[in-house]
Amino acid sequence: MSDLGQVPDVGDLAPDFTLRDHHGVSVSLAGLQDRTNVALVFFPFAFSGICTGELREIRDGLEDFQHDGIQVLAISCDPMYSLRAWADAEGYFFPLLTDFWPHGEVTRRYGVLDEKRGAPLRATFLLDTEGRVVWRAVGALDQRRDFGPYRAALADLRSSTR
């Protein structure tokens, strides 16, 4: 993992950031607070097999991942144009954010940058409307993440905000 960032723990305030999406639009974490919960899905590489499968699962089951109470933000260190081509090819309609330059700055602040590969680990953070981490999972680059626990954490978050 990174030696510059500490992985935010449950209860911690998530580091704020502003990144550009695959259309070049700036997206700010602070701009979403007070309006919606946020799922940050860090992924290593656009067009790679495991990442494509994971983001297809989000796309195909979007009602489980994103709705009026939650916004999915997928983050990698790929350049914006690569993310745009990938989103167009795969039909991803949730924001794919580029942490390309300065390379991995946000990913590093979340403590999930694999410095040798220059790519994020497979990390997922569920944030409440105050920007606090309510659930997290961090895995290796070469192992597909299990979204089952995310769905359970989201159900818990939904029931606690009613």
Say which CATH number the domain at 70 has. Answer: 3.40.30.10
Among residues 14, 46, 51, 87, the one annotated as catalytic is 51
List helix spans (H) across the chain.
Answer: 29-32, 49-60, 62-65, 80-90, 105-109, 148-160
pLDDT tens digit sequence for 16-58 = 999 999 999 999 999 998 899 999 999 999 999 999 999 999 9
Q: Is residue 9 part of a domain?
A: no
For residue 4, what pLDDT band results from cuts at 50, 70 and 90? low
Handedness of CA 149, 136, 126, 124 (dihedral sign): negative
Give me the count of residues in the chain. 162
Q: Is residue 6 part of a domain?
A: no
Q: For residues 40 and 47, what is the distance between their CA atoms, to the nearest angstrom? A: 19
Q: Is residue 8 part of a domain?
A: no
Instruction: Check whether 2 has a pLDDT greater than 50.
Output: no
Q: Is residue 5 part of a domain?
A: no
Q: Quick one: CA torsion of 118, 122, 123, 126, rounded to 10 degrees? A: 130
Q: Is residue 122 part of a domain?
A: yes
- Write down the mean pLDDT value for the chain: 92
Number of domains in the chain: 1
Q: Is residue 137 part of a domain?
A: yes
**Residues contacting residue 89 through CB under 8 Å, at least 6 positions apart:** none
Q: For residues 74 and 124, what is the distance between their CA atoms, to the nearest angstrom? A: 9
Q: Is residue 43 part of a domain?
A: yes
Residue 162: predicted pLDDT: 56
Q: For residues 14 and 126, what is the distance between their CA atoms, to the nearest angstrom? A: 10
Which of 85, 82, 15, 54 minimizes the C-alpha distance to 147? 54
Domain that holds residue 52: 18-160
Say whether pTM exceeds 0.85: yes
Cβ pair 84, 106 in contact under 8 A: no
Q: Is residue 13 part of a domain?
A: no
Told to judge if 51 belongs to the known catalytic residues of this protein, a careful annotator would answer yes
Residue with tokens 């580091």: 15
